[in-house]
Amino acid sequence: MNRKIVAMLGVFCLGQSGLVSAGLFDDAEFSGSGYLRENLALGFEDNPTTTGGSFGGKGDLLMVRHSVLLEGYADFGWANVGAVTRFSREQMTSYLRGLSESSRTVGNFGGTPSRFRDFYDEEDIRELYVSFDVGSRVNLTLGKQQVVWGESDGFQATDVIHGYDFSWRSSLEGENEELRKPLILANAKIGMPELGGSLQLIYRPGWDKAEDIGYTVDLFGGRWAGQPNKGMDTLSLIPYNRDHSKGDTDDPSYGFRWTGILPTLGDIGYSFMYYRGPKLAPVVNSIFNPYGEAPVNGFAEFLNPEVDTYGASFNAYSEGLDATINGEIAYTPDDPYNFGLLAGGLGGVVEKDTLKLMLRSDKLLYSLGRMLRTNKPATLIFQVTDTWITDFKRSDDIVDGTGSKKEHSVQMTAVLATNYNFDQINPTAVFAYDPTYKGALFVPFVDWVFGDHWRLHTELQFYFPMGTHTDPVTRNGALDTHGFGTLVNQNQANVLITYQF
């Protein structure tokens, strides 16, 4: 086992036993917590191959994942130290073995069970940091940590510091910290009460592992590979280049965020920010039209180019709507996109100024709560997002999945949450609709609380790829596949069993 994990176990055990050393640790307070977790997923539909066959999936276990998470904290008075580690192992179910073995029959490159484990299995120090005050105004946190900006959990406009690992669970993970990829940062918070706010400064020196940068999506042909790429190891043909001049992961990133309150306007909370760092979603650098230097492998490679993001957000309570209103806007000049639909996105990279916008309402529904006999009012969250390419030209032939990108990409999401038995039974329903490219999802789930330790999450996921031109023979949806279209044939049930300690 990794020596860092052994050290983390030692910190955790100290916290659990209450042992305190003498001298420097005389006044120290230790604490520890964690969980044991089992993730299970059952498929409702078969997944077709590009040749008209099937990988299976209906009635199959798509995921059997075992996880242990440990958290240890120490308060020395003059500083706080925190550490979080997670150890995960996946069972190679018959479905996953079939995906891996099928990659050899569809003319792709590699794809073996051991390669799946490179992405699914984990033993990692997720967080390890020290936090201390410098004078009366400044708090400094150094080390591997998570810093969350913005007002939305499901849409990253101003929240651009961290990428997410979508390889093992791609859709609607309620605990974002489970998928967010922590980074080694210097994080300074400077209080300025005379100005009614605080300034946060972020610096990433570039010491992270290369794979910790940007989104990790299923490009290796696993259970969350977008249609029609299940069983296809795309990374064997188009690997990542983490040292390209347009997106060297060793280059530092930096930015700031100011947050404050405007009491004269009804206590409106606001923020504005700037960050220079890697684009979270990768683009392809192709030999046919290189973006900077040509691909190392002589064909194509994935990059996370450096971009600048300027943004602002607000949150306020509206008496007229009796709801909390949140909004975000983020501007990225020269945001890189791939173009060339007929070339599969390998036509090159074009840079376009892009705005991302979000508006959300959080409202308590008292009448509905009484009708449903909930313990407290039901909550309705409604959110609208838009990615707007401001200097869009159809002739640029920008791609989106295997379809054409449009000037506006809008998505609407509604979440209805209820609570029963004093928050021990918590049913929730999520519905999202894509009016631009069509398609929707519906995810009902229930969170169950059993005493102080046991938690159960039961969930169904249904995807409706309306408007995608799905091939009537192979049903692979490859002819015109956008967001929800990539998830065709992905309906499933999920169960998370957690023991907290």
DSSP characters over 378-425: EEEEEEEEEEEETT--GGG-BEETTEE--SEEEEEEEEEE--BTTTTE
CATH class for the domain made up of 3-500: mainly beta
Q: What percentage of the chain exceeds 70 in pLDDT? A: 89
Alpha-carbon distance 118 to 129, whole Å? 26
pLDDT digits (tens, 9 = 90+) for 32-75: 999 999 999 999 999 887 677 788 899 999 999 999 999 999 99
pLDDT digits (tens, 9 = 90+) for 392-416: 999 999 998 778 999 999 999 999 9
Tokens 């021990």, residue? 424
Q: Is the pLDDT of residue 22 over 70?
A: no
Label residue 19 by pLDDT band (50, 70, 90).
very low
Q: Would the pTM count as exceeding 0.75?
A: yes
pLDDT digits (tens, 9 = 90+) for 317-343: 998 899 999 999 999 999 999 999 888
**What pLDDT does 476 receive?**
58
DSSP-assigned beta bridge partners for residue 244: none
Domain boundaries, the chain: 3-500
